[in-house]
Structure 1
């Protein structure tokens, strides 16, 4: 059974992966009344909202396939709340997904749009 603890391990692995790629981690597990954003990072003056999905097998699909339209909408609304609270003026941003399937990490930039 997939547990919250395993999910946090996946987020930690994703965070390390992003740091190696030159991302600065701004926030983790940012919670709002509408949802949660796993990782908020910045690279090249772009604010990146990242959903991390970990799968131990492909029996039910990849991690990336688990980011439904409903989940995307929650992330977008949470990102809007984050930007309203912490960003002055317009911010260049995007939505990424990090899919961890067994031992493979796949970073999907611009996985969906607002």
Structure 2
């Protein structure tokens, strides 16, 4: 992965974190790794755990950022979330997969957030 793509991804994750914090989410983990894959952000709000995928792009040449979150990716997020739950005791919490689609074109930033993806 190029340094540009890493920096773009980091910028997107920082924007997502700012959004979540400004909407009263507690951030529990960032870049949680498991054998099933990575979860970009794990947050909590109102007794609900959110397993968040952040997709960031600088143009639409390869489609909108959210289009990269397919059923296979969601499956891996859910498996990694199950692993996280085994390692950490969260009983009685609702669980949701959430997605940020962030497009950064020059100085224009478009952030879309879906807080319950299946």
Q: TM-score, normalised by structure 1?
A: 0.91
Residue aligned with 1:77, SS: helix
Residue aligned with 2:59, SS: coil
Output the aligned Cα RMSD.
1.3
CA contact (8 A) 2:37 2:77 kept: yes
Question: For the residues of structure 2 that align with 1:4 and 1:54, how far apart are their CA atoms?
Answer: 10
Question: For the residues of structure 1 that align with 2:25 and 2:50, how far apart are their CA atoms?
Answer: 9
Please point out which of 70, 74, 82 is paired with 1:68: 70
Q: 1:39-74 CA deviation, whole Å, 9 max, x = no partner?
A: 000011100000000011112111111101111111
Please point out which of 50, 53, 61 is paired with 1:51: 53
Gapped regions of structure 2 (runs ≥ 5): none
Residue aligned with 2:9, SS: helix
Most deviating of 87-96 and 69-78: 87-96
